[in-house]
Structure 1
Amino acid sequence: MNHTFNNILFLLAAGILMAGCIDANYEEPVAGRTEDQLLSNVIAAQSELSIFNELLDSEGLLPLLVSRQTQDQRAVFAPTDAAIEAFMSENGFESADDIEGLENVLAYHIAEPNIMQSDLNRTNYNFIQTNADQDIFVNRSGGLVRFNNQTVNIQRSESGNGTVHLIDEVLLPRSNTMAAYLDENPELSIFKQVVELLGLNSQLSANFRTIFIPDNQAFADLLAALGAGSLEELVEMVGEDALEEIVRYHIVNDLVYSANVSNSQTLTPQFTGEVMPMISVDGENVLLTYGEGHASATLVSVNDDIFQTGFVHTIDKVMLPVLEDE
């Protein structure tokens, strides 16, 4: 009994002693919290970014750069004063108010999450998510990193609770869409009809698409070869499922354009069949070879205009996939 009583007294004394050691002002540290400068302060400290800083403030975007104190949250690709002044002059703008969708243009320079230059140098790094709800496509040409197929030099990078990259160009969200491109080019009207018939319109607005579109003459040649008098007859002959496979043989879930094509490069379309198309570069001509033994070829009219979601190129034949024997 005495031993039990002594043990209780010892525990009570120990508890009192520990309570006396508790710091009344103790706060649990916030996980990931950093003492690094807020990005807004980093930008304000750069004399070359005074215009960019003023525009962020005027458009109410500074809260994006001051609301977080955790590490590695955002990156800013900040055009220098010289870059903004050159952009204004080239476009005949007298003031920033002349820039259509200024807030969205500025938000296009704010990326999430944080991106460092080492990320951009990785060959498999293909896009940057921005606060403008549109990605920046990253590609490489001649050893240079390009944004949206545009050469952009990062003059230097400054660190805070994220990264500020000082760049020498103004980045613009892409406004042109694949659907509008089809509307504006009557020689591609049959492909447009096929897409609408099959309910594949969403492919025109899905990110990271390259579409090789056969022109109307290519479809006319196909109809003649199959003995079909119209698109409707073609559907009756092959069926909608087979026609969709043909269309998906022309859609690649990747970005393909002159800066990143190489001879004998194999493409992986949405429907591959047994033989995937292959790029063949012959002098200034770019061809796609396909069919048994890649014996067939179609000439590619390369279009390096970048759309909101990718690239569109025109070809002069409808490529028919090689199907497995049933």
Structure 2
Amino acid sequence: MILNNFKGILPLALASIFFVSCSDDDNAPEIPMETETDIVDIAITDSNLSILVEALTKAELVATLQGDGPFTVFAPTNSAFEAFLTDNNFASLDDIPQETLTQVLLNHVVSGDVKAADLETTYYSSSSTAGVDGKNLSLYVNTADGVTINGSAVSTADIEASNGTVHVVDKVIGLPNVVNHATYNSAFTSLVGALTTDGNTVFTDLLSDAEQKFTVFAPTNDAFTAFENPSENDLNAILANHVIGGAALAAGDLSNSYANTAAANEDGDNLSIYVNTDDGVTLNGISTVIIADVVTTNGIIHAVDTVIDLPTVVTFATADSENFSSLVGALTTEGQPDFVSILSSTTENTPFTVFAPVNSAFAALAEVPTGEDLTAVLTHHVIAEANIVSGDLSDGLVSPATLQGDALTFIASEETFVITDGAGNMGINIVKADVQAINGVIHAIDTVLIPGS
């Protein structure tokens, strides 16, 4: 019997009050003494939680839940455990590896004493460290109709213990991956529908991979409702553009920088995404993180308020004002060709290779050209019908002609690329290579290119 294992260790759960009599004075009043009933005591005295007690013993968590806490425990019933064992092809608790069982149990424990009425529809951190990179897993609590935790419903709430509160639940709360967590929150039903439309399993298979790490920017239902897909881009490609593979990045890990998404151009080059953290977290200048750091076993989800469409080279120029505001100003100067339309095209003269001067490059000019001279300078930075990535550059390479007409020459040593422009100016450095858009690639450079006279 499980109960026998606790004789001499735990107080009897029902003996919450006993009386001590003074043997020296028969007339002395009896003094009531209170015995504390902790979370484990409560589980022991409820026959419907006997498997939970057995599991806590096997995982060596009894002493933990007898600690001071306080703890909020979502306690699965026997039937919940029986369903969990069957669903995962375990004959008994003995078939579950101890570390796995420990993390599953800890995923039912939240720090603090939280009554049902105080629970909010939001994400909580559980005590399980089975999250990616050892982080604490997230629990999605929904109070819209009763209380559910990752889809497990509270059947009996607010059982008070000396070191916290127990809420009995009807399902074991497993260890969720990215796909699991997306299904728990009804704000992501449109996303889940898009990921699985017409029986598509590409994304569910990918994002369920326990051997990989992911950062997922998940559009809410409102984001999908507002998205009109103006460029009629492939939905699968758009969805892939919300996923960074190979890293699970929390909000605190993000900085003003570029990363590669799972989406790719026709050549197989992964598209870039621009992250800006100056005021919250924004992606490609259009989408804002509204809920950060939902931790799963194989990644981190950030909910975003706008669908992130496939970027053009103009997308990055306008999003990254820290580096390219001067270039955008020059491109949109009155009297210049409609460079925004030209470089936003996904059909005419594409793909483009753009050598984009950073703001300091424009600041270093003695005078910014105007009129036709400015047009010649700007078109000298663009090569049409070529997606020239850094891997294509080699020492002595002469590029195809720019839109202005002159070619560029490259000197390469290891991973450093130096450009000579049409006017013969040398020593122009690529400071950020391979910002990949759907219609071309940008290389940020530290000097404005000048065409030949």
What is the TM-score with the length of structure 1 in the denominator? 0.51
- CA deviations over 1:119-176 (Å, ceiling 9, x no partner): 32x24x42133154523332548656543xx311101121112011111111122356
Q: Quick one: higher RCO (CA 8 Å, sep 6+), 1 or 2?
A: 1
1:55-94 to 2 correspondence within 5 Å? 55-68=55-68, 73-94=70-91
Structure 1, unmatched stretches of 5+, are: 1-33, 221-229, 235-242, 252-267, 280-303
Q: Is 1:47 aligned with 2:47?
A: yes
Give the Cα separation in 1 of the matches to 2:139 and 2:48.
26
1:219 and 1:317 in contact (8 A); partners too? no
Q: Secondary structure at the match of 1:97?
A: helix
Alignment-derived partner of residue 136 in structure 1: 138
Amino acid at match of 1:65: L
More helix by share: 1
Cα–Cα, structure 1 residues 163 and 205, in superposed 2: closer, same or farther, change >3 Å?
same
1:166-181 to 2 correspondence within 5 Å? 166-174=168-176, 180=212
Q: Is 1:247 aligned with 2:274?
A: yes
1:214 and 1:316 in contact (8 A); partners too? no
Cα–Cα, structure 1 residues 216 and 143, in superposed 2: closer, same or farther, change >3 Å?
farther
1:208 and 1:310 in contact (8 A); partners too? no
Cα–Cα, structure 1 residues 278 and 219, in superposed 2: closer, same or farther, change >3 Å?
farther
Cα–Cα, structure 1 residues 307 and 207, in superposed 2: closer, same or farther, change >3 Å?
farther
Cα–Cα, structure 1 residues 272 and 90, in superposed 2: closer, same or farther, change >3 Å?
closer
Structure 2, unmatched stretches of 5+, are: 1-33, 130-134, 178-207, 215-236, 327-453
Cα–Cα, structure 1 residues 195 and 49, in superposed 2: closer, same or farther, change >3 Å?
closer
Alignment-derived partner of residue 206 in structure 1: 250
Amino acid at match of 2:43: I
Cα–Cα, structure 1 residues 41 and 218, in superposed 2: closer, same or farther, change >3 Å?
farther
Q: Secondary structure at the match of 2:274?
A: helix
CA drift of 1:208 comes to 9.3
C-alpha RMSD over aligned residues: 4.6
2:147 and 2:154 in contact (8 A); partners too? no
Amino acid at match of 2:48: E
Q: Secondary structure at the match of 1:127?
A: strand
Give the Cα separation in 2 of the matches to 1:178 and 1:92.
19
Bigger-Rg structure (1/2): 2
Alignment-derived partner of residue 102 in structure 2: 103
Q: Is 1:311 aligned with 2:301?
A: yes
Amino acid at match of 1:311: I
Q: Give the paired residue count.
A: 212
Give the Cα separation in 2 of the matches to 1:218 and 1:138.
38
1:177 and 1:205 in contact (8 A); partners too? no
Give the Cα separation in 1 of the matches to 2:38 and 2:249.
36
Give the Cα separation in 2 of the matches to 1:151 and 1:214.
29
Give the Cα separation in 2 of the matches to 1:114 and 1:160.
10
CA drift of 1:219 comes to 8.9
1:209 and 1:309 in contact (8 A); partners too? no
1:145 and 1:151 in contact (8 A); partners too? no
What is the TM-score with the length of structure 2 in the denominator? 0.38
Give the Cα separation in 2 of the matches to 1:165 and 1:86.
19
Cα–Cα, structure 1 residues 306 and 67, in superposed 2: closer, same or farther, change >3 Å?
closer
Give the Cα separation in 2 of the matches to 1:137 and 1:312.
14
When structure 1 is superposed on structure 2, of 89-98 and 46-55 the one drifting more is 89-98
More strand by share: 2
- CA deviations over 1:256-278 (Å, ceiling 9, x no partner): xxxxxxxxxxxx862468x5427
- CA deviations over 1:297-326 (Å, ceiling 9, x no partner): xxxxxxx99554433899661353273855
Cα–Cα, structure 1 residues 134 and 177, in superposed 2: closer, same or farther, change >3 Å?
farther
Give the Cα separation in 2 of the matches to 1:308 and 1:156.
32
Give the Cα separation in 1 of the matches to 2:287 and 2:267.
18
Amino acid at match of 1:277: S
Alignment-derived partner of residue 152 in structure 1: 152
- CA deviations over 1:205-237 (Å, ceiling 9, x no partner): 4379999945012897xxxxxxxxx78xx9xxx
Alignment-derived partner of residue 224 in structure 1: none
Alignment-derived partner of residue 26 in structure 1: none
Give the Cα separation in 1 of the matches to 2:252 and 2:300.
5
Q: Secondary structure at the match of 1:137?
A: strand
